[in-house]
Amino acid sequence: MYQTKFSAADLHAAFVNDRNRAYKVFFSEQIEVTGQISYIGPDRYDRPSIEMGGNHYNGSQVVFIFASGYDKNVNVEKSQNVTISGECRGALQNGTVVIENCKIL
């Protein structure tokens, strides 16, 4: 079994350095990612999301999509370090890793 806990920077690097291998290892896997929040708000499809690393407009390291909205019992802010779990769906052309069905731990 593969490791299931990663930093946002390490997960992003895995896809940038060897995209094909990263897809084989991570695609559809439940993982936990820890990092500093760089953006909170809707993604480009108006879904609730949180991003870690990088810049929202120039490509973040990881984007987390929350299917049913944010957990109202969890209060997070930009620049805060958090751990989020979800299902890895691969990476966008710019290298941003996409995690769906997320939960803030």
Model confidence pLDDT, tens digit, residues 40-94: 988 888 888 999 988 766 677 999 999 876 666 678 999 999 999 999 999 988 8
Q: Strand 59-65 vs strand 81-91: parallel, antiparallel, or unpaired?
A: unpaired
| Overall number of domains in the chain | 1
Band of the pLDDT at 1, cuts 50, 70, 90?
very low
Return the CATH number at 83.
Answer: 2.40.50.140
**Stretch 12-25: mean pLDDT:** 94
Whether pTM exceeds 0.85: yes
CA atoms of 74 and 85, how far apart (whole Å): 14
Per the structure, the complete domain to which residue 46 belongs is given by 5-104
Predicted confidence (pLDDT) per residue in 30-40, tens digit: 999 999 999 99
